[in-house]
């Protein structure tokens, strides 16, 4: 799966008009007293937007833009930006997200004004972080948050792995033969780890047989899979991420369960990627 997205800067426009009386004199054929002088334009009005703040150091990039309608920020590390096609891909995503935010925020402001309600500034913030850098691969996580009105915003994590040889991006789950195969290989390990965290937060044990929304074990399709490395040579660990509402009420926050790659998991990796994986301690 390819991910796509770039960057744009805000422009400030200013103009001026002459006095109505002067215009009438010119139309009547009488030169205005100031006609022979060089006019000094009035100062431009204060812009309603803060220009994009861009910091680039060795391939790293951080962009922030705040207007009356929205707050936008997007960043990625040098290890990603120094790979030209990957940096281009992230820049395209940056511009896509910014454009989407600007469009939806402007529409929301118009609707709020029409309905007589106050407008709450929308936001989108994202930061890509390095999970693993091994021969042939980069693994990144994107920690993002959004707000589009309402009681609170939403946040989460997305995954990207970069095949250095093929110059291609995909989600980590695509390294496996299927999500279901990986879920079967994990067995109860994810659910046990999740329920341990739930118990620590709630103060009560969770029934492993529960099937209600906030107590059941979510399917792997509801999770984000990240691939990491303790050795720096091969992928040997997984992080399974459950965002807000996936494994508990919003107030409980998100959950991250870290698991080592074992033989069962290794067998679910697509054959062409299997040499890039190892069981923990054998990389």
Written as six digits, the tokens of 165 are 């040889």
- 52 three-class SS: strand
Backbone angles phi, psi at 192, to 5 degrees: -65, -45
pLDDT at 88 over 90: yes
Can you tell me the mean pLDDT for 186-214? 96
Can you tell me the mean pLDDT for 253-277? 98
Can you tell me the mean pLDDT for 221-226? 99
Write out the residue limits of the CATH 3.90.640 domain(s) in the chain: 172-283
194 Rama sector, left if φ>0, alpha if ψ -120 to 50, beta otherwise = alpha
Backbone angles phi, psi at 78, to 5 degrees: -60, -35
Can you tell me the mean pLDDT for 214-220? 97
Residues in the chain: 283
Write out the residue limits of the CATH 3.30.565.40 domain(s) in the chain: 1-8+48-170
Q: Which pLDDT tens digit goes with each residue over 102-136?
A: 999 999 999 999 999 999 999 999 999 999 999 99
- DSSP state for residue 175 in the 8-state scheme: G
Q: Which pLDDT tens digit goes with each residue over 32-41?
A: 333 333 334 4
Q: Which pLDDT tens digit goes with each residue over 63-75?
A: 999 999 999 999 9
Q: Judging by DSSP bridges, how do beta strands 154-163 and 168-170 pair with one another? A: antiparallel
Please identify, in words, the CATH class of the domain defined by 172-283.
Answer: alpha beta
Question: Binning pLDDT at 50, 70 and 90, where does residue 260 land?
Answer: very high
Can you tell me the mean pLDDT for 227-247? 98
Determine the Cα–Cα distance for residues 25 and 42; give it in Å rounded to an integer: 22
Determine the Cα–Cα distance for residues 2 and 123; give it in Å rounded to an integer: 25
Q: Which pLDDT tens digit goes with each residue over 4-22?
A: 333 333 333 333 334 344 4
Q: Judging by DSSP bridges, how do beta strands 122-134 and 70-76 pair with one another? A: parallel
Determine the Cα–Cα distance for residues 263 and 236; give it in Å rounded to an integer: 11
Determine the Cα–Cα distance for residues 257 and 255; give it in Å rounded to an integer: 7
Give which of 71, 83, 62, 82 is closest to 128, Cα–Cα: 62
Classify burial at 163, counting beta carbons within 10 Å of its beta carbon; exposed 0-12, middle 13-18, buried 19 or more: middle
pLDDT at 196 over 90: yes
Written as six digits, the tokens of 275 are 């040499």
pLDDT at 47 over 80: no
Higher pLDDT, 8 or 219: 219
Q: What is the pLDDT of residue 43?
A: 43
pTM above 0.75, yes or no: yes
Q: What is the pLDDT of residue 23?
A: 38
Between vectors from CA 220 to CA 219 and to CA 223, what angle results, nearest 5°?
105
1-8+48-170 adopts what CATH topology? Answer: Heat Shock Protein 90 (3.30.565)
pLDDT at 28 over 60: no
In this structure, are residues 138 and 164 in contact, taking their beta carbons and an 8 Å threshold? Answer: yes
Determine the Cα–Cα distance for residues 81 and 63; give it in Å rounded to an integer: 13
């Amino acid at each position: 799966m390819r991910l796509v997205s770039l960057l744009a800067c805000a422009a400030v426009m200013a103009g001026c008009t002459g006095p109505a009386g002067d215009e009438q004199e010119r139309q009547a054929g009488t030169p205005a007293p100031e006609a022979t002088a060089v006019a000094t334009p009035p100062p431009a009005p204060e812009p309603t937007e803060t220009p994009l703040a861009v910091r680039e150091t060795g391939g790293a990039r951080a962009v922030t833009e705040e207007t009356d309608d929205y707050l936008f920020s997007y960043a990625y590390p040098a290890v990603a930006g120094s790979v030209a096609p990957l940096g281009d891909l992230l820049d395209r995503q940056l511009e896509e997200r910014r454009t989407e935010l600007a469009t939806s925020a402007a529409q929301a402001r118009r609707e709020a004004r029409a309905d007589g309600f106050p407008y709450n500034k929308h936001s989108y913030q994202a930061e890509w972080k390095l999970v693993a850098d091994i021969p042939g691969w980069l693994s990144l996580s994107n920690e993002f948050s959004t707000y589009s009105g309402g009681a609170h915003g939403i946040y989460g994590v997305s995954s990207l792995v970069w095949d250095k040889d093929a110059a291609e991006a995909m989600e980590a789950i695509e390294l496996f033969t299927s999500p279901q195969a990986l879920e079967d290989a994990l067995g109860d390990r994810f659910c046990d780890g999740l329920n341990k965290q739930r118990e620590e937060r709630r103060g009560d044990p969770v029934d492993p047989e529960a099937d209600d929304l906030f107590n059941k074990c979510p399917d792997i399709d509801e999770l984000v899979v990240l691939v990491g490395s303790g050795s720096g040579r091969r992928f040997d660990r997984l992080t399974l991420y459950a965002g807000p509402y996936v494994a508990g009420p919003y107030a409980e926050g998100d959950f991250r369960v870290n698991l080592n790659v074992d033989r069962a998991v290794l067998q679910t990796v697509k054959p062409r990627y299997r040499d890039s994986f190892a069981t923990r301690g054998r990389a």
